């Protein structure tokens, strides 16, 4: 696979309750992200992908996968030409991640994450 899924997010109106639910069911342990938002990050370990569970800024429930790409803006440009639209423009969180989100022509929201330099 040229561009792999490398991250997932499960978001809702009560991130703390969601984290507890998934911890109780699957035994997931979280590292809390810095800041005010309730956002717990899960290590991918043993060949799985990492992810995060937390509060949705829109207070809506969603599951989003993130696809690793070299140039998120170039991919967003292609998406626009093929009938998709940008939901979250390219955003950099210094020393952590560069990401974006788009809506495909069928309405699914999918994320892009910039490949890390090796």
Q: How far apart are CA 24 and CA 26, in angstroms?
A: 6
Q: What is the pLDDT of residues 37-70, one digit of tens each?
A: 789 999 988 888 999 999 988 878 999 999 999 9
Q: Which domain holds residue 107?
A: 5-114
Q: How far apart are CA 20 and CA 114, in angstroms?
A: 29
Q: What is the mean pLDDT of residues 79-91?
A: 96
Q: What is the pLDDT of residues 20-41, one digit of tens each?
A: 999 999 999 999 988 877 899 9
Q: Is the pTM of this model over 0.75?
A: yes
Residue pair 69/3 in contact by the 8 Å Cβ criterion? yes
Q: What pLDDT is stored for residue 107 in this prediction?
A: 92
Q: How far apart are CA 15 and CA 38, in angstroms?
A: 6
Structural domain count, the chain: 1
Q: End-to-end CA distance of the chain, in Å?
A: 18
- The CATH number of whichever domain residue 86 belongs to comes to 3.10.180.10
* Token reading at 115: 């490949």
* Token reading at 5: 């899924």
């Amino acid at each position: 696979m040229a561009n792999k899924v490398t991250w997932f997010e499960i978001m809702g109106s009560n991130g703390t309750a969601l984290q507890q639910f998934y911890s109780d069911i699957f035994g997931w342990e979280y590292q809390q992200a810095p800041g005010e938002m309730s956002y717990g990050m899960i290590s991918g370990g043993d060949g799985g992908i990492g992810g995060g569970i937390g509060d949705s800024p829109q207070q809506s429930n969603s599951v989003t996968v993130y696809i690793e790409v070299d140039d998120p803006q170039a991919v967003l440009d292609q998406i626009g030409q093929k009938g998709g639209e940008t939901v979250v423009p390219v955003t950099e969180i210094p020393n952590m991640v560069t990401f974006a989100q788009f809506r495909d022509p069928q309405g699914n929201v999918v994320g892009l994450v910039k490949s890390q330099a090796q």
